A and B are shown apart, each in its own frame.
Chain A
Amino acid sequence: MTQDAMIDEWYPVGLFSQLDMNGHRTALMGEPIDVALDAEGNAKVTSGDGHTLPVCVRYGHVWSSLGKPRKELFAIPEADQPGRRFVDVGVVRVRCSPLRAVENFLDIAHFPFVHTDILGAEPHTEVLDYKVEIRQDKDEVWATQVKFYQPQAAKSASGGITTEYMYRVPAPTCSVLYKTCPPRPGEWDVITLFVQPLAEDLCNVWPWMALFDDVTPMTDLIHFQQTIFLQDRSILENQIPRLLPLDPGMEIPTRADLTSVAYRRWLKRHNYIYGAQLVAQ
């Protein structure tokens, strides 16, 4: 098994709000784990052979690691901003590489075809140039000035708008999206994708949101996001190969795919290859 440098990262393993003392069994990178509340009401994660694993609770989720995390979980400052609603969307199980799930989240060109009449619609298919960089101070992939026409960008949007996006990849299986906030110009809605690698070709996707939206019922917010991710799943389970090819040649990127290109290079440079396919394999 390829565990590589990703073994020491934090991964989401459940919603804190749904934990109980009975716990639930799940998996992390091929290893069975148990996630439960202890007698004091703290989250506890145990490996299949009975060892206690590192744990932290943040952004609605319980996070753990099979290795020894060398740093704290990445920061999302907006998570502490007053006035936001936090949405635990739940889980979507996807039969694909955890890295493919993240790459799809970074992609806007598929909106008109996969999320038709919600996040995109023909003939508005053009992806204008945007900026991609690796921010050295935090070692994160960032895409900024991403703009796209959307018929219904958010539950709080009425009618089509050109939405601006910023993406960050602070960890190999996590991405944070900042998106135009229809009711509050000047602020950004935050939508995240936290991916739990169950195996190299199987993952649990845990979307989470921090929104300025006091109107939409929680159920509608959850349904909106689940609809989007179920549409993505129909793609993710039908890509060949299941693993994400990190070497050029297997797939053909264009200018619209610059975020994906940077993400793949960043993964390869850090030896984050759990769920990746290399030419040598």
Chain B
Amino acid sequence: MPARTPAGPIALWRSQSGRAAASADRCPHRGMRLSHGFVRGEALSCIYHGWSYARTGNCLRIPAHPGLTPPETIRVATQQVKESDGVIWVAVGEPAVEPPRLEGVVPLRSLTAHASVAAVEAATDALVWQAQTSRKIRLLLVPQEDDQTLIHVLVDDNSSPSERIAASRAAETLRRLAEDLQTKGIA
């Protein structure tokens, strides 16, 4: 699937053995988005000509030349990926520490707001005053291009179905409020 990070667009994929990987979302052959590609075994293949890449980014196979071992120079940039507590973390550069642990909570859903991180934070402050649930909702905010924010919503892991539905609705209210603030230029 396509995803955006501060280091650029990536193709986020899971190999057959279950390992998550992040490759730059552009095949160096003809510029096709790798997020349109397909996973076979431990490799991600480009949908245009089937060039396949390992998790580490090196090109494994060029189907037009089945007898050829692709040179080391043909590769896509990759980013480090860690999976913990149900969240996939993608690193920009070489992080010195592990991603934070999120014990006691589970991911509920992700949504994109057409609003900056500042606007989402301002909307969160406003919402706290009218919170209708005693449960806490935790948000992970990821800045995207064009002043958009990807919001990951997490709830307590013992939340009931109705509490989860309430949290999901609260997240949508938050998105609308953040987009209003963005439009009015308050944040």
> CB within 8 Å of B: which residues of A?
109-110, 112-114, 122, 125-127, 234-235, 238-241, 245, 250-256
- By the criterion CB–CB under 8 Å, are B64 and A238 in contact? no
A244 to chain B: closest residue by CB = B31
6 inter-chain pairs at a CB distance below 8 angstroms, sorted by A residue, are: A113-B47, A113-B50, A240-B32, A241-B31, A251-B30, A254-B65
- By the criterion CB–CB under 8 Å, are B48 and A235 in contact? yes
Q: Which of B31, B47, B68 contacts A240 (CB 8 A)?
A: B31
The distance from the CB of B174 to the nearest CB of chain A, in whole angstroms, is 32
Q: Which of B31, B47, B66, B74 contacts A114 (CB 8 A)?
A: B47
The yes or no answer to B33 lying at the interface (CB within 8 A) is: yes
Residues of B with C-beta under 8 A to A240: 26, 31-33
Residues of B with C-beta under 8 A to A255: 64-65
The yes or no answer to B86 lying at the interface (CB within 8 A) is: no
Residues of A with C-beta under 8 A to B137: none
10 further A-B contacts with Cβ under 8 Å, apart from A113-B47, A250-B31, A256-B65, are: A110-B49, A113-B46, A113-B49, A126-B66, A238-B36, A239-B31, A239-B32, A240-B31, A253-B29, A256-B64
List of 3 A-B pairs having minimum Cβ-Cβ separation, nearest first = A125-B63, A256-B64, A109-B64
A255 to chain B: closest residue by CB = B65
For window 31-56 of B, CB contacts with A under 8 Å fall at 31-33, 36, 46-50
The distance from the CB of A259 to the nearest CB of chain B, in whole angstroms, is 12
Number of B residues contacting the other chain (C-beta, 8 Å)? 20
Residues of A with C-beta under 8 A to B66: 125-126
A112 to B49, CA, bound (A): 8
A235 to B47, CA, bound (A): 8
CB contact under 8 A between A122 and B48, given known A238-B36, A240-B33, A251-B31:
no
By secondary structure, the B interface counts as loop
A239 to B36, CA, bound (A): 11
User: Hey, what's the 0/1 contact readout for B64-78 against A, CB within 8 Å counting as 1?
Assistant: 111010000010000
The yes or no answer to B127 lying at the interface (CB within 8 A) is: no
Residues of A with C-beta under 8 A to B30: 239, 251
- By the criterion CB–CB under 8 Å, are B28 and A251 in contact? yes
A251 to B49, CA, bound (A): 13
The distance from the CB of A86 to the nearest CB of chain B, in whole angstroms, is 31
A239 to B31, CA, bound (A): 5
Residues of A with C-beta under 8 A to B49: 109-110, 113
A251 to B48, CA, bound (A): 14
Residues of A with C-beta under 8 A to B64: 109, 125-127, 254-256
B74 to chain A: closest residue by CB = A252
Residues of B with C-beta under 8 A to A122: 50, 63
Residues of B with C-beta under 8 A to A112: 50, 63
The distance from the CB of B17 to the nearest CB of chain A, in whole angstroms, is 22
The distance from the CB of B52 to the nearest CB of chain A, in whole angstroms, is 11
- By the criterion CB–CB under 8 Å, are A252 and B28 in contact? yes
A235 to B64, CA, bound (A): 18
- By the criterion CB–CB under 8 Å, are B65 and A238 in contact? no
The distance from the CB of A177 to the nearest CB of chain B, in whole angstroms, is 18
The distance from the CB of B102 to the nearest CB of chain A, in whole angstroms, is 34
The yes or no answer to B62 lying at the interface (CB within 8 A) is: yes
Q: Among A112, A113, A122, A239, find the residue whose CB has the most chain B CB atoms closer than 10 A.
A: A113
Residues of B with C-beta under 8 A to A235: 32, 47-48
For window 86-131 of B, CB contacts with A under 8 Å fall at none
The distance from the CB of B49 to the nearest CB of chain A, in whole angstroms, is 5
A238 to B74, CA, bound (A): 20
B65 to chain A: closest residue by CB = A254
A97 to B1, CA, bound (A): 25
CB contact under 8 A between A254 and B62, given known A110-B49, A113-B50, A114-B47:
yes
A238 to B9, CA, bound (A): 13
A191 to B2, CA, bound (A): 35
Residues of A with C-beta under 8 A to B68: 254
- By the criterion CB–CB under 8 Å, are A114 and B65 in contact? no
User: Hey, what's the 0/1 contact readout for B1-42 against A, CB within 8 Å counting as 1?
Assistant: 000000000000000000000000010111111001000000
- By the criterion CB–CB under 8 Å, are B48 and A110 in contact? yes
The distance from the CB of A269 to the nearest CB of chain B, in whole angstroms, is 21
Residues of B with C-beta under 8 A to A239: 30-33
